[in-house]
Amino acid sequence: MKKLIYMDNAATTPVKSEVLEEMLPYFSEMYGNPSSIYSLGSHSKVAVEEAREKIGKAIGANPKEIFFTAGGSEADNWALKGIAYRNRDKGNHIITTKIEHHGVLHTCEYLEKQGFEVTYLDVDEYGIIDLNQLKKSITDETILISIMFANNEIGTIQPIKEIGEIAKEKNIYFHTDAVQAIGHINIDVEELNIDLLSMAAHKFYGPKGIGALYIRRGVKIDPLISGGAQERNRRAGTENVPGIVGMGKAIELAYENLDENNRKLIKLRDSLIKKIFDNIDHVKLNGHPTKRLPGNVNLSFEFIEGESLLLSLDMEGIAASSGSACTSGTLDPSHVLLAIGLPHEIAHGSLRLSLGDFNTEDEVDFVVEKLVEIVARLRAMSPLYERVKEEK
Ligand SMILES: *Cc1c(COP(=O)(O)O)cnc(C)c1O
């Protein structure tokens, strides 16, 4: 097999070796159930609590406000359903955006069927919400504002601090899906007035199937999963001890080297964008030029199908995405690209290259070289492109 060039770090990341090393003993040596009272169990319990501390520290929260889940989707489901059901007596209105991850969007659609009302805020051409529209959408019935920290497709970062201030002033809970932001951006839940925050370890070099929901002390929320008394009666089920240990190590590593890593990533990202623009015409950058995730590049190539582009890149050993892992399974263009106003045909020609800690400038050069070839070959088959060329 050809050497793989992995530029799909927004879909998932590899587990770093330091993370794996910390996890390994918890599979078959330290396998005790954290709820058991003998020493083998209490070793696991200690490991879980150490990880909880690391995660709390990373976002400025008390460890008691961190609750482990089986990933980002569960955290999103819990935040929305848990708040909605528990606060039904206060109101039935939720505000979110049109560009949320399906973990939030589909949960909102489910809640609508249960009688809740949901406002889906528009975004501008860069994918940023309008704070005035947010303020105007608030009613006496509003119990929750759920707005993602950074978008998984186009990388746009929302004005979270301003949203937090609005929510706090109106006494409305503020949840943010920070799955793309945690481990990549400095986040302080106090400074930002965040009440609930979703995260997933596999987006920052931890294992899959483990995540957490930060729940501010005093927030009234129902459990999503009932059963045993784990997670202080809020999330039943024997803890995923190796996963939790891995998540703790991964978040610690991410914030230890954050500034240096981000400087490197932004340099690589901007170099990739520049080289593509220098060598390919009829291409557009989606998302905000600066308010974007350090590793995110999202482009639309006119006269091209994103799917064909992905397949051709795969043949060169390059892993990328045409929007999001979830949308590439369907024929509909991504809801995010439509929400920023792209016409269907332009949205269809989109490509997401998401860079991570293991990418290099050599890889960037290789990807640009291959993209130039592939785009030229695919466009040669497009009658529309031929006509545009002749008209020039
Ligand atoms: C990946 C992702 C999720 C889902 O996380 P899982 O761990 O795959 O369930 C939710 N929201 C965003 C923004 C994501 O990028």
pLDDT at site 323 = 57
Atom of ligand 1 nearest to the CA of 76: 10
| Other CB atoms within 10 Å distance of the CB of residue 4 | 10
- Encode pLDDT of 114-137 as tens digits: 999 999 999 999 999 999 999 999
Nearest CA to ligand 1 atom 5: 72
Residue of 266, 319, 325, 326 marked catalytic = 326
Distance 325 CA to ligand 1 centre (A): 10
pTM value? 0.96
* Predicted confidence (pLDDT) per residue in 204-247, tens digit: 999 999 999 999 999 999 999 999 999 999 999 999 999 999 99
Read off φ and ψ for residue 65, nearest 5 degrees.
-95, 5
The per-residue pLDDT for range 66-80, each reduced to its tens digit, is: 999 999 999 999 999
Q: pLDDT averaged over the chain?
A: 95
The pLDDT of 354-364, averaged and rounded, is 98
pLDDT range class, residue 329, cuts 50, 70, 90: low
Query: Residue 222, SS3?
Result: coil
Rounded to the nearest 10 degrees, what angle do helices 241-256 and 258-279 cross at? Answer: 80
Query: How many Å lie between the centroid of ligand 1 and the Cα of residue 200?
Result: 7
Tens of pLDDT, residues 153-201: 999 999 999 999 999 999 999 999 999 999 999 999 999 999 999 999 9
What separation in Å is there between the alpha carbon of 232 and the centre of ligand 1? 24
pLDDT at position 331: 66
Residue that has been written with the tokens 């957490």 in this structure = 212
* CA 366 to chain centroid: 27
Alpha helices in the chain (DSSP H): 17-23, 25-28, 39-59, 72-86, 102-113, 131-137, 160-170, 230-233, 241-256, 258-279, 306-315, 335-339, 344-348, 361-380, 383-391
Query: Is residue 358 within 8 Å of 12, Cβ to Cβ?
Result: no
Q: Can you tell me the distance from the alpha carbon of 257 to that of 245, in angstroms, rounded to the nearest whole number?
A: 19
Domains of the chain: 5-13+258-391 (3.90.1150.10), 17-256 (3.40.640.10)
- Element spanning 283, H or E: strand 283-285
Instruction: Give me 185's structure tokens.
Output: 């951006």
Q: Token pair of 335, please?
A: 């809801």
Helix (H) / strand (E) containing 350: strand 350-354
Contact in structure between 204 and 54 (CB atoms under 8 Å): no
The residues pairing with 351 across neighbouring beta strands, listed in sequence order, are 299
Quote the ligand 1 centre to 118 CA distance (angstroms). Answer: 21
**What are the pLDDT digits (tens) for 21-35?**
999 999 999 999 999
326 among known catalytic residues: yes
Which of 12, 68, 69, 73 has most ligand 1 atoms within 8 Å of its beta carbon, as the pocket-test mutant? 73
Residue among 13, 80, 108, 152 to mutate when testing ligand 1 (max atoms within 8 A of CB): 152
Q: To test ligand 1's pocket by mutation, which of 108, 147, 203, 208 has the most ligand atoms within 8 angstroms of CB?
A: 203
- Ligand 1 is surrounded, with C-beta below 6 A, by 71-73, 76, 101, 103, 148, 152, 177, 179-180, 200, 202-203, 211
DSSP 293: -
Q: What is the pLDDT of residue 385?
A: 85
Position 378 pLDDT exceeds 50: yes
Using the mean position of ligand 1's atoms as its centre, give its distance from the Cα of residue 389 in Å.
41
Q: Which atom of ligand 1 is nearest to the CA of 151?
A: 13
Which pLDDT score, from 0 to 100, does residue 383 have? 82
